[in-house]
């Protein structure tokens, strides 16, 4: 209980330091900017990175990066290094800020969940704003998130599948969806077997006394394999401590992919160690590179009604 109180106190202290952001139309200018949209009359903020040479008539992908609990959009940019990757692969990146630095993932976590914050509405509004103001390819909108952000990525995959081509939860778990889209969506998941917060085999993990109960990674992956009608048997590859299972053949070209990190903890693979108490990320896999390679080869394909 004492650890849980310390966790909540730290959260409240961090909330007071959250950066502000003026509402305005998004500007097509290379570099970083702070932007906002309004959801239910409230201003929700996000950082936007536009790579160099991204002008012209050509439409480009949008990757949305969701931070973990207690994080911020700035922090997810620092941890994931997604902005430098966007310069290489030519896509725009949005880094939303969760309410109270948490996301309402449907069964977790913290104030955002307990106060029923409309984070699905926020990401929907963010996508619509970017498509309206910027040359975004509507068939190449992607979401990646870690921990609580990974949980939110799963929820968005269930509820905004009509708008999103693929999701990439890292060290996340899935809770029941409030609504369900019928649109197929590709999924690439990354999870370490030694994660003590969101356990690979399911059950209850904890962080600073905060309990997180989840289904196993295997159960979650099988949900998406069946939902997308992928092949039941994966293409299995092993390289060192990295195991890749790819389930191809899904409806409308979708695929489901799982990267298992043997001995991996609760961290962004190839990223930075968040705190001195946090798990060290493996250097055997760059989740950012692997996820972007998956995203850019899995655009949205609409079914032919005829």
Element counts in the chain: helices (H) and strands (E): 8, 12
pLDDT of res. 24: 60
Q: Which of 61, 36, 37 is nearest to 50 (CA)?
A: 61
Q: Which residues, 6+ apart, have CB-to-CB distance to 178 below 8 Å?
A: 106, 120, 159
Q: Are 285 and 269 in contact (CB under 8 A)?
A: yes
Q: Examine the pLDDT at 116 and tell me if it is beyond 60.
A: yes
CA–CA dist 78, 221 (Å, integer): 28
In 3D space, the residue among 190, 187, 180, 300 whose CA is nearest the CA of residue 247 turns out to be: 187
In whole angstroms, give the CA distance from residue 33 to residue 46. 9
Q: Report domain extents, the chain.
A: 21-296
DSSP string, 75-91: HHHHHH-HHHHHHHHT-
Contact, 228 vs 250, CB < 8 A?
yes
At 278 the pLDDT is: 77
CA dist., res. 40 & res. 44, Å (int): 10
pLDDT, position 5: 36
Say if residue 276's pLDDT is above 70: no
Nearest to 89 by CA among 296, 294, 287: 296
The confidence band for 18, taking pLDDT boundaries of 50, 70 and 90, is very low
Q: What is the pLDDT of residues 68-103, one digit of tens each?
A: 999 999 999 999 999 999 999 999 999 999 999 999
Q: How far is CA 174 from CA 96, 103, 198, in A?
A: 20, 13, 10
Q: What topology is assigned to 21-296 in CATH?
A: Rossmann fold (3.40.50)
Q: Is pLDDT above 70 for 306? A: no
pTM (two decimals): 0.90
The more confidently predicted of residues 278 and 228 is: 228
At residue 22, the pLDDT reads 45
The pLDDT value given to residue 303 = 63
- Would you list the DSSP string of 218-265? HHHHHHHHHHHT--SS-EEEEETTEEEEEE---GGG--EEEEEETT--
Name the 3-class secondary structure at 92: strand
Question: Quick one: CA torsion of 4, 8, 10, 14, rounded to 10 degrees?
Answer: 150
Distance from C-alpha of 93 to C-alpha of 62, rounded to nearest angstrom: 6
Tens-digit pLDDT profile for residues 244-272: 999 999 999 999 999 999 999 999 999 98
Q: Per-residue pLDDT tens for 19-71?
A: 333 446 787 788 999 999 999 899 999 999 999 987 666 899 999 999 999 99
Structure confidence by residue, pLDDT tens digits, 140-177 = 999 999 999 999 999 999 999 999 999 999 999 999 99
Read off the pLDDT of each residue in 293-301 and give the average, rounded to a whole number. 96
Distance (Å) of CA 198 to CA 71, 100, 179, 274: 17, 21, 24, 17
Percentage of the chain with pLDDT > 70?
88
């Amino acid at each position: 209980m004492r650890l849980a109180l310390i966790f909540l106190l730290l959260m409240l202290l961090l909330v007071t330091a959250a950066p502000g952001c003026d509402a305005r139309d998004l500007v097509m200018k290379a570099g970083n900017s702070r932007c906002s949209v309004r959801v239910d009359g409230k201003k929700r903020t996000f950082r936007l990175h536009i790579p160099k040479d991204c002008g012209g008539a050509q439409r480009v992908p949008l990757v949305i990066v969701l931070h973990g609990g207690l994080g911020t959009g700035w922090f997810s940019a620092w941890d994931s290094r997604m902005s430098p990757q966007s310069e290489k692969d030519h896509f725009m990146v949005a880094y939303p800020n969760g309410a109270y630095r948490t996301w309402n993932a449907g069964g977790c976590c913290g104030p955002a969940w307990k106060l029923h914050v409309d984070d699905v509405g926020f990401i929907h509004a963010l996508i619509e704003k970017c498509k309206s103001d910027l040359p975004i390819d509507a068939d190449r909108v992607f979401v990646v998130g870690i921990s609580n952000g990974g949980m939110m990525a799963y929820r968005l995959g269930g509820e905004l599948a009509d708008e999103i081509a693929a999701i990439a939860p890292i060290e996340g778990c899935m809770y029941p969806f409030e609504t369900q889209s019928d649109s197929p969506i590709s999924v690439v998941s990354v999870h370490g077997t030694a994660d003590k917060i969101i356990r690979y085999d399911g059950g209850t993990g904890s962080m600073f006394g905060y309990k997180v109960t989840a289904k196993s990674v295997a159960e979650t992956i099988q949900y998406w394999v069946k939902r997308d009608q992928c092949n039941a048997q994966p293409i299995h590859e092993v390289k060192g401590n990295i195991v890749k299972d790819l389930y191809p053949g899904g409806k409308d070209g979708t695929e489901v992919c799982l990267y298992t990190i043997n001995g991996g903890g609760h961290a962004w693979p190839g990223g930075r160690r968040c705190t001195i108490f946090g798990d060290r990320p493996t250097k055997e896999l760059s989740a950012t590179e692997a996820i972007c390679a998956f995203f850019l080869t899995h655009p949205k394909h609409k079914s032919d009604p005829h």
